[in-house]
Amino acid sequence: MPNTSMIRIHVSSDEAGVTGIDWEADDAPEPGPQAARAMVLALWDAERRNALRIDLWTREMTVEDMNDFVFQTLLSLADTYKAATNDDALMSEIKIFAREFAEKASAAERRRAGER
**Ramachandran quadrant class, 49 (left: phi over 0; alpha: psi -120 to 50; beta: rest):** left
| Residue 30 pLDDT level (bands cut at 50, 70, 90) | confident
Q: What is the domain partition of the chain in residue ranges?
A: 1-59, 62-116
Query: Is 22:10 a contact under the CB 8 Å cutoff?
Result: yes
Residue-wise pLDDT for 31-60, tens only, equals 899 999 999 999 999 999 999 999 999 999
For the chain, where are the alpha helices, taking DSSP H only? Answer: 63-85, 88-115
| Residue 18 pLDDT level (bands cut at 50, 70, 90) | very high
* Residue 109, beta-bridge partner list: none
Mean pLDDT of 63-72: 96
